[in-house]
């Protein structure tokens, strides 16, 4: 089984400049995930551009955190601004040009031949209401990635907290884009702030509590967690029923229907670990 880990911004490995851009900070090395996922964050000033090239064995994903750029994939051309995502599958020639100073997250995963390129702007993502009024945007579903991963961007108000749960088949990676929170992973307790990352291997008890208003990027590999979210959350494109909220029982039922396991109610900030409560 993979080992849980977490890192603050200052702990990320910094690599040399990428093309004409700024440094690349390694958030998660593929050795941590058994080769299933690597993630880095990079700064790219306007004018940064790559050659057109294919990847023989990996799919590549870019999330535009700030700025804008043009991406080419095969015979398609995508213009992305802040909040946009581009999925560039293996075997498809692709390239990009940054049109205004940008901050990007770059992910790579073993390739799934035959998949189609995909891109979406910030206003095109399926959006769900989650705990305490937080929002989850589905940037990439398992259908888009051949089941390799799912990708979400979410907001969470201070005080919101998850129950203690276990992913039976997925590893979960969370990047704290802004704000702060406490993450319990098995026997570990991590305090994350902006730029921090936590890796939760499948089969390990976990929970979190947000301590200041936060925005997060979450990856699950393999994909499919959106099936749970769609069952328990509210599609914001539909009218909001009076008094609507997510109950613990509703989460348990949705988890049972989608192969997840929810164990106990949320932890308090001073709890040291999720494991003793589960064992009890």
Residues 249, 147 share a domain:
yes
Helix (H) or strand (E) holding 71: strand 58-73
Residue 57 · residue 111 · CB < 8 Å: yes
Return the minimum-mean-pLDDT range out of 63-72, 158-167, 260-269: 260-269
What mean pLDDT value characterizes the chain? Answer: 92
Q: Where is the domain boundary, 71, 99, 122?
A: 122
Q: What's the pLDDT at 272?
A: 66
pLDDT number for residue 46: 95
For residue 1, what are its two tokens? 């089984």
Q: Does one domain contain both 149 and 134?
A: yes
Residues 185-194 have a mean pLDDT of: 96
Name which of 251, 268, 124, 122 is nearest 182 in CA terms.
268
Rg (CA), the chain: 18
Would the pLDDT of 279 be above 60? no
Residue 5 within a domain: no
Residues 130 and 199 in one domain: yes
Domain match, 132 and 109 both: no
Q: Measuring CA to CA, how many Å separate 29 from each of 19, 114, 156, 172, 241?
A: 20, 26, 27, 14, 43
Summarised one tens digit per residue, pLDDT across range 122-167 is 999 999 999 999 999 999 999 999 999 999 999 999 999 999 999 9
Q: Domain span at residue 138? A: 124-279
**In the listed set 122, 157, 187, which residue is the last one of a domain according to the structure?**
122
Average pLDDT over residues 82-103: 96
Q: Is residue 2 part of a domain?
A: no
pLDDT of residue 229 exceeding 90: yes
pLDDT digits (tens, 9 = 90+) for 48-64: 999 999 999 999 999 99
Q: Would you state the pLDDT for residue 113?
A: 83
Are residue 134 and residue 115 in the same domain, yes or no?
no
CATH number of the CATH domain containing 25? 2.60.120.10
State the pLDDT at residue 119. Answer: 98
């Amino acid at each position: 089984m993979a080992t849980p880990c977490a890192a603050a911004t200052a702990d990320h490995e910094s690599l040399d400049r990428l093309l004409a851009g700024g440094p690349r900070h390694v958030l998660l090395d593929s050795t941590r995930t058994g080769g299933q996922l690597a993630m880095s964050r990079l700064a790219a000033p306007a004018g940064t551009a790559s050659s057109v090239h294919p990847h023989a064995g990996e799919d590549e994903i870019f999330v535009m955190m700030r700025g804008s750029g043009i991406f080419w994939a095969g015979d398609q051309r995508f213009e992305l601004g802040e909040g946009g995502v581009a999925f560039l599958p293996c075997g498809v020639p692709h390239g990009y040009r940054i049109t205004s100073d940008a901050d990007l997250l770059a992910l790579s995963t073993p390739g799934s031949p035959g998949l189609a390129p995909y891109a979406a702007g910030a206003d095109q993502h399926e959006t769900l209401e989650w705990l305490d009024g937080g929002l989850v945007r589905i940037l990439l579903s398992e259908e888009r990635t051949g089941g390799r991963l799912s990708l979400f961007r979410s907001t969470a108000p201070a005080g919101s907290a998850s129950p203690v749960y276990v992913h039976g088949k997925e590893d979960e990676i969370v990047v704290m884009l802004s704000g702060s929170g406490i993450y319990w992973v098995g026997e570990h307790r991590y305090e994350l702030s902006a730029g921090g990352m936590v890796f939760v291997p499948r089969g390990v008890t976990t929970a979190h509590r947000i301590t200041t208003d936060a925005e997060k990027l979450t990856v699950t590999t393999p994909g499919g967690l959106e099936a749970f979210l769609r069952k328990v959350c509210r599609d914001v494109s539909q009218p909001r029923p009076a008094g609507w909220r997510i109950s613990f029982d509703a989460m348990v039922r949705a988890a049972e229907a989608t192969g997840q396991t929810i164990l106990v109610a949320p932890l308090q900030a001073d709890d040291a670990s999720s494991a003793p409560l589960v064992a009890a």
